Structure 1
Amino acid sequence: MLDQLGEPVKARICNALGAKRYDEADKAEKQLKKLKSSETYINITGTQYYKHFAPFGEGTIVDLIREPDNLHDKYAIRVDINGETVGYVANNQYTLIKEVKSARDLKHSKSTRAEVQFILFNKWVIAKLI
């Protein structure tokens, strides 16, 4: 139910607690606290169409390439590692979690790089703008 209300992270934490996976829930809570800092965080989506989570280790630097001519999303920001596309900055209700900024939110940002911080619940790649 929380997942349907736009709270997918809280839903997963509740699920982990209900399944007595306390370490998993605790780890997620700690990761979410980090997102409440003054830093700007994004989540990288579409990884399943490229290399899944393989290229994303903690500290990995990714390049953010704006695609204003993208037919599907004029705010699209492609995510590359070493010149190879590995995903996109999340920008819609199905891929975005509320704790981070969307590609649209970054339309005036000058940032062209981000540093991977962690992978939340083996679903969301979270990175900090640098």
Structure 2
Amino acid sequence: MAKIYFTLTGTRHYFGDDFLKKGMRIELEKEPDNKYDREAIMVKVKGLGKIGYVANSIYTVLGEAVSAGRLYDKIGDRAVAKVVLVTSNGILCKVCKKSLAQKIKDSEEE
């Protein structure tokens, strides 16, 4: 199973990104009722709540990371990820293998 990387964006609208560190666990939650993006995936941290979103624009996705639109169908309603790299241009994160495996398992059961 290939590793899936994504860019965390929008942190300046919430708590900023100074607290984000490599290896930090973050949670993903689909937000299908989002009025701006039907493929929105909210990013949360336990104890803080929403800290941003998975980037879904060619202007905010870093390098070879996937957009929220490409990630949306690869995860369930919720998933776990980790921060890989914090840069001045954005935050690169990786979806945990267990979250991807769970989505595959759920699909097979349907």
Same fold (TM > 0.5): yes
Match of 1:128 in 2: 94
Are residues 1:65 and 2:32 paired? no
Cα RMSD, aligned residues only: 1.4
Which letter maps to 1:119? V
Tell me, in whole angstroms, the C-alpha distance in 1 between the residues paired with 2:58 and 2:4. 19
Aligned pairs, number: 92
Determine whether 1:117 maps to 2:81. Answer: no
Q: Which amino acid aligns with 2:16?
A: H
Counterpart residue number, 1:78: 42
Distance 2:19 2:42 in 1: 15
Unpaired stretches in structure 2, ≥5 consecutive residues = 97-110
- Identity %, equivalent residues: 33
* Greater mean alpha carbon deviation, residues 70-79 or residues 104-113: 104-113
Which structure is larger by alpha-carbon Rg, 1 or 2?
Answer: 1
Between the aligned partners of 1:118 and 1:107, the Cα distance in structure 2 is 22
- SS in structure 2 at match of 1:64: strand
Deviations 1:21-75 (A, max 9, x none): xxxxxxxxxxxxxxxxx41100000011111112311110000010011000000
* TM-aligned CA deviation for residue 94 of structure 1: 2.1
Tell me what 1:88 maps to. Answer: 53
Distance across 2 between alignment mates of 1:125 and 1:76: 17
- Specify the alignment match of 2:66 in structure 1: 101
Deviation at 1:107, TM superposition (A): 1.9
| TM-score with structure 2 setting the length | 0.77
C-alpha displacement of 1:95: 1.3
Is 1:47 aligned to residue 11 of structure 2?
yes
Moved over 2 A (4+): none
Higher relative contact order (CA 8 A, sep 6+): 2
Local SS of the residue matching 2:16: coil
